[in-house]
Chains A and B, each alone.
Chain A
């Protein structure tokens, strides 16, 4: 059978991805610009024998996710920036309790109520400190409908594999734009959970899932175990690069912003400018080593231009990844000021002018 191609919004692609990934429970609370996800799930999940429930708040929603996860469901929630802040206590517990789930954040402008325009202002919150304590989770940043579909489906497998939440970090441009999505069947593994879920202590000792460790040695051990898990997640690192080795400038960007940047970079490359492109797809773990290798690829010192729809966040990860092997520039656009590819080209050319290197 030919794969079905449909014209959908990014948020709908995420919802279809979740269904393909085996999601059977959804809990959430409405917030713009991601309402198409709960709306679609409220139709699709009951049809498939799944559970959809609109909670009374994001706080409740994430705790319903916690409960469903503890009893073995493939469960997700979705929200946008202010709602994600409300959920962050729950993220910390989910990580501590080692409960898998998928969380979608379709970012909007902040701080506070901010606005509903596209933003990438929650980068730090997602990759550095999703909740209190040392907890981390895998963060995927899709940049197209096809990628949103595939990554969301895969997120369910990886959540189960690591027994840890996985976040899909998107934004209002990808969320609200429509483009074709190929609804192809994916090979998403079902991971057995019978050895840890709570389903009644029948013919086995009772199980406890807890995060309180008053014994300090026990808590330290716990954190070491979690840290090891985060290191294991480095296997999941994904990125896209356009790079041959001689480029003077490497444009680094993620999510929707990376689409605008890619357009600019491709245009410039066509005209012979020495510009490369790097797009982290996993934001945590961050592709540090690959970036370091790029910086070291030739003798000439490179310039890393980091384009973001915020006041400059990922640039810090880029700078720390290249360990001084190149220069890092932050080109930032606060929420609601979207640059066009032409504007990005201009920025890159400006930066090229300062370096005295000739065109390739």
Chain B
């Protein structure tokens, strides 16, 4: 009988600690599949950032270092510069990548560092209890915007994929989601491309993945997953920059 389903080799057999309906686990699995398929395990180094995914090393069986909050792109820069033969990826939340680490992220992108940065965008600070994030959408209630995000007070959501697409150092830049099976499959393709960009030394590659935070959104798993469609209206999916050429439509 042909094997139709198996666990990726790079995925550890630990039970995910993530909340029900959280998309981190889906992305973890996709990441492991891509690491396996591109045969990267013996030269990959991952950056676990501050946020719910700081326990990345419980699940992903590659060399991993914890970076201080927001500093993943700088730590990755140091690694890649010192050992260009390594494949270096960051796994960051929207707060880590786009708030406290915005400078590190933009400068690494602008320098065209040959690293792969993943930003899991769920529009809130999950681990600390659902506070305002730079990607929180207008009117969204968080624990520090109890009346909803007011652009006059908290400004507008930051759209990182659009921002990065203007950078000359960026080789690949896309936004995707994993709230439908089709999008899961597409995300894997984009993830692969994000790593290929690094393998071919094209420059900085960035993939933003819209994700859920059911607990802090105060929704059940299913509604949260459906709610991602609403986010897509604000954060459109697509490939914003692709130096590979060719058709990369979702």
Contact = CB atoms under 8 A, between A and B. Distances in A.
A97 interface: yes
B182 interface: no
Contact of B86 (A24, A51, A71, A212): A71
Given A56-B103, A201-B42, A68 B78 contact: yes
Contacts of B74: 55, 59-61, 63-64, 66-67
Contact of A63 (B42, B48, B71, B81): B71
Interface stretch (B61-69, B149-157, B188-196, B235-243): B61-69
Contacts of A61: 74
B71 A60 contact: yes
Contacts of A219: none
Given A93-B68, A201-B41, A210 B83 contact: no
Nearest to B57: A208
A201 B63 contact: yes
Interface residues of A, number: 41
Interface string A139-163: 0000000000000000000000000
B71 A199 contact: no
A25 B63 CA distance: 21
Nearest to A210: B66
B43 interface: yes
Contacts of B77: 53, 60, 64, 67
Contacts of B118: none
Nearest to A25: B82
Contacts of A208: 57, 63-66
A228 interface: no
Nearest to B83: A71
Given A56-B107, A93-B68, A200-B42, A212 B54 contact: yes
B48 A67 contact: no
B160 interface: no
Interface in B111-163: none
A75 B82 contact: yes
Nearest to B43: A200
B22 interface: no
Interface in A90-121: 90, 93, 97
B63 A63 contact: no
A170 to B, nearest CB: 24
Contacts of A51: 81-82
Contacts of B66: 93, 97, 208-212
Q: Which of A61, A71, A203, A209 has the most chain B CB atoms closer than 10 A to its own CB?
A: A71
B79 interface: yes
Contacts of B83: 71-73, 199
B57 A210 contact: yes
B45 A200 contact: yes
Q: Which of A55, A200, A203 has the most chain B CB atoms closer than 10 A to its own CB?
A: A200
A64 B54 contact: no
A155 B64 CA distance: 27
Interface string A184-220: 0000000000000011111101111111100000000
B63 A53 contact: no
A57 B102 CA distance: 12
A90 B74 CA distance: 11
A65 interface: yes
A63 B62 contact: no
B63 A66 contact: no
A75 B79 CA distance: 11
Nearest to A52: B81
Nearest to B80: A67
Contact of A90 (B48, B68, B81): B68
Please list the 9 inter-chain residue pairs (A to B) with the smallest Cβ-Cβ separation, ordered nearest first: A67-B78, A202-B42, A64-B78, A200-B43, A63-B74, A67-B75, A68-B78, A68-B82, A198-B63
20 contacts: A55-B74, A59-B71, A64-B75, A67-B74, A67-B76, A68-B81, A69-B78, A70-B45, A71-B78, A75-B78, A75-B82, A202-B43, A206-B64, A207-B64, A208-B63, A208-B65, A210-B64, A210-B66, A211-B66, A212-B54
Interface of A: 24-25, 27, 51, 53, 55-57, 59-61, 63-73, 75, 89-90, 93, 97, 198-203, 205-212
Given A68-B81, A202-B42, A210-B48, 15 more contacts: A60-B104, A64-B78, A66-B65, A66-B68, A70-B45, A72-B83, A93-B68, A199-B45, A200-B45, A201-B62, A205-B61, A206-B63, A206-B64, A208-B64, A210-B64
